[in-house]
Amino acid sequence: MTENKEVPARTTGEEGKKSLNFIESIIEEDLKNNKNNGVVLTRFPPEPNGYLHIGHAKSICLNFGLAQRYNGKTNLRFDDTNPEKEEVEYVDSIMEDVRWLGFQWEGEPRYASDYFQQLYDWAVNIIKNGYAYVDDQPAELISQQRGTPTQAGIESPYRNRSVEENLDLFIRMKNGEFKEGEKVLRAKIGMTSPNMHMRDPIMYRILKREHHRTGNNWCIYPMYDFAHGQSDYIEGITHSVCTLEFEVHRPLYEWYLENVYTEGDIKPRQIEFARLNLSYTIMSKRKLLELVQKNIVNGWDDPRMPTISGLRRRGFTSASIRKFADTIGVAKRDNVIDVAVLEHSLREDLNQTAARVMAVLNPLKIVITNYPEDKDEWVKIENNPEDETMGTREMPFSREIYIEQDDFMEDAPKKFFRLSPGNEVRLKAAYIIKCEEVIKNTDGNITELRCTYDPDSRSGSGTEASQRKVKGTLHWVSAKHAIDVEVRLYDRLFNDEAPDGHKEKDYKEFINPESLKILKNCKVEPSLKDAQAESKYQFQRLGYFCVDKKDSKPGNLVFNRTVPLKDSWGKMNK
């Protein structure tokens, strides 16, 4: 895990007992000074152009978490100023994901598009005050004229149009008299500013596209910078928390605010923190969309996707994601968090909450030759050794059982403590068995084992043999009682730590070909018969699994592997 060494995520607060991150320190200072009359209103402002991912989850937990901590509220605002890429499907998925994470926004969701009229009126005012002008140059030329960080920009020949002419042209832009790209409205700030974002940035562009909410009412659309801060201001946001790349936009955020601000109103303050980067993970919405569109994954909620809906389908709990967000804290400098930290947070949660059950993924049949053919027995077994209140259940035992193919070796090395010819193992919660004979088909593949059991050795029966120690304990299911299920073994989607960090190679070259293996002939204990969608289990000795919420049906259960019990990547790759 790459730790941020320069800026501690949390410092010790005044009372010494609770520690504050730097945003909490700012808010506490504001509260102490009664700034904003003690109000704390944050917002989460997604653009509805994709599904939310784990990076957004970090931002959601931060914004809603701050409000919860300071008795404030959080708005959900769709930043829908770009009609080209936005869709209602995304709006719906975003609301569902925020709620699933455990948060509820204040009132109705808001939309930047609801403020189009107000933004337009403000733009008109800014023109009237002489601080904005209509430029007839094409976008590429404007962009070339911006200069470089070390070289001043060039002023547009249209920069000194009269207020009257600018007003007339802007109104005609709004009325649809010009074609796309023919004109833009620019703020008149200065082409020599050392901050490139201040060099007469574009405020409005012409786009003759239908908007998912405002239809064809508008053919000019505000740029992100002009819409965002003003939307914060309209809503009375006190602390506008965003990621670091907007630090350089902050002077512009403040410039626009100054130009629309009325004394006495709440003035939002922009605060930047480092975005979440995770190893082995891509978080660019453009690339995630590409994976979906090229069918490299099966949709936005494919369990290998870092989207909230993908993580959910994979079996992540919302509590583990919230815990993760809290554990990593907020940093002021970019860093990369090891994805193992997220998986650790999940294992910790599931270890406490997931019921243990027995499942055999690659079954090998055993016939216990000295066990009566017509007998069934029910053995008692704990549901979760970490939590007594989860109780016990009964599992059937009979003459024919399945164990995992891996748990048997014909020519076993000395340290192999599972089953091998002539050796004994304990079947968890049941008897000690001994392998007497290996049955093979004509190809020489093992098809079945013949074993004997020690009738006095049943776990918990109190006999001397029940205490007898043998080296290995195996999970198993009774063959005639087991349910056939499909199991999907998911693994990390990329086999490189930084799949999009290679200059010469495309991130898609690092797709892990083993990221999904489908097993059709798995056997699970009968207590899982009515397992509900999304319920989570620990398959003993194998890992955590959940019932797939889309493809699993009663009588045709599908389980997703959420995570193995231990992190095997750490060892393999370091």
Can you tell me the distance from the alpha carbon of 281 to that of 275, in angstroms, rounded to the nearest whole number? 13
CB-based contact 395:379 (threshold 8 Å):
yes
Selected catalytic residue, list 10, 146, 275, 418: 275
Out of 285, 304, 312, 399, which one is annotated catalytic?
A: 285
Cβ closest to ligand ATP, residue 44 vs residue 453: 44
> Nearest distance from residue 236's CB to ligand ATP, in Å?
18
Query: In the complex, what is the shortest distance from the CB of residue 499 to ligand ATP, in angstroms, rounded to a whole number?
Result: 15
- Three-state SS at 33: coil
47 a catalytic residue:
yes
Closest residue to ligand ATP: CB criterion: 55
Q: Which is nearer to ligand ATP, 49 or 259 (CB)?
A: 49
Three-state SS string across 489-512, please?
A: EECCCECCCCCCCCCCCCHHHHEC
How far is residue 409's CA from residue 399's CA, in Å, rounded to a whole number?
A: 21
To ligand ATP, the closest distance from the beta carbon of 23 in angstroms equals 13
Name the residue nearer to ligand ATP (CB basis): 47 or 382: 47
Give the contacts of 382 (CB within 8 A, at least 6 positions apart).
356, 390, 391, 392
CA 288 to chain centre: 12
Of the candidates 10, 28, 47, 434, the residue annotated as catalytic is 47
| Chain position carrying tokens 């699994």 | 545
Instruction: Write out the two tokens for 507.
Output: 């991130």
User: Could you confirm whether 58 is annotated as catalytic?
Assistant: no
What φ, ψ does residue 355 adopt, rounded to 5°? -70, 145
- Cα first-last separation, the chain: 12
Task: Determine the longest span between alpha carbons in the chain, in angstroms.
Answer: 102
Work out how close the CB of 213 gets to ligand ATP at its nearest, in angstroms, rounded to a whole number: 16
Closer CB to ligand ATP, 86 or 454, in the complex: 86
Select 283 or 412, whichever has its Cβ closest to ligand ATP: 283
DSSP labels for 207-260? ----BTTTBTS-SEEE-HHHHHHHHHHHHT-SEEEEEGGGGGGHHHHHHHHHHH
CB of 316 within 8 A of CB of 506? Answer: no
CB of 283 to ligand ATP, least distance (A): 5
Contacts with ligand ATP, residue ranges (CB under 6 A): 45-47, 49, 55-56, 58-59, 242-243, 275-276, 283, 285
Q: Which two tokens stand for residue 332?
A: 């002021």
Of 283 and 438, which has the nearer Cβ to ligand ATP? 283
Is position 275 annotated as part of the catalytic site?
yes
For the bound state, the minimum distance from the C-beta of residue 54 to ligand ATP, rounded and expressed in Å, comes to 8
Question: Which residue's structure tokens are 């050794």?
Answer: 385
Catalytic residues: 47, 275, 285
